[in-house]
Amino acid sequence: VLLAALLFSSQIIPILATVPIVLIAKFLLFITLSLTLRTMRWCFLTGCLIRRHNHWQKTAKIYIGGFPMTLTPGHVGELWRAWALKKHHNESFHRTLPIVFCDRLLDLNTLLIFALFGLFSIIGSIVIPSFIAFIVILAFILLLFKPYITRRMIKALWQLSGRPAPRVFAFLLALCRY
């Protein structure tokens, strides 16, 4: 915001002057709350998947440090987080990449749930399909907490697809190991 205000101050200042300060304060409060909850989720996931994890402050710094890099092509910041976890906790990428993968999936599911709540509130005629989709998303989230079920599904998919690309499926199985 500060950079934009410096670069485009002649256009931004009149617009910001029309916005009530209470609305700006609420916006900043919700952004702060959102980032705090996401950082807490990251620390929880890291604690679940890394053995000797007891430095939640360092893990939170790693997560927050990846935010500036998430706007890069290919979300390099996400991979930076896995690298930083590997470096600071002396773990392999097979243990740190699932954390990044799970965090992105949970972000996707959160957005889908918000979209479904929006459908619930706007269009009453599609409540049943939206509710079914909501249940499917919740089931998917629960699968993240039961990796053995996910591993069985990956193995079944590999069998049904004619066993192509064994290394890709082995990597997916390794992601679900922990």
Q: pLDDT truncated to tens, each residue of the chain (178 aa)?
A: 666 666 666 776 777 778 888 988 898 898 899 889 889 988 888 887 776 656 788 888 888 888 777 677 766 777 888 888 888 878 777 778 888 888 887 888 778 777 777 776 676 666 666 677 777 777 777 776 777 787 888 888 888 888 888 888 888 787 776 5
Which pLDDT belongs to residue 29? 93
The DSSP secondary-structure symbol of 176 reads: T
Which pLDDT belongs to residue 121? 67
Which pLDDT belongs to residue 48? 74
Tell me which amino acid residue 113 is.
I
DSSP string of 47-98, one letter each residue: HHHSTT---HHHHHHHHHHTGGGGGSTT-HHHHHHHHHHHHHHT--HHHHHH
DSSP string of 108-164, one letter each residue: HHHHHHHHHHHHHHH-GGGHHHHHHHHHHHHHHHHHHT-HHHHHHHHHHHHHHTTS-
Which pLDDT belongs to residue 127? 64
Instruction: Return the structure tokens found at 69.
Output: 């890099």
Which pLDDT belongs to residue 90? 80
Nearest to 100 by CA among 81, 115, 87, 113: 81
Q: Is residue 41 within 8 Å of residue 103, measured between CB atoms?
A: yes
The DSSP secondary-structure symbol of 20 reads: -
Which pLDDT belongs to residue 74? 66
Which pLDDT belongs to residue 152? 85
The answer to whether the predicted template modeling score (pTM) of the entire model surpasses 0.95 is no
Which pLDDT belongs to residue 17? 79
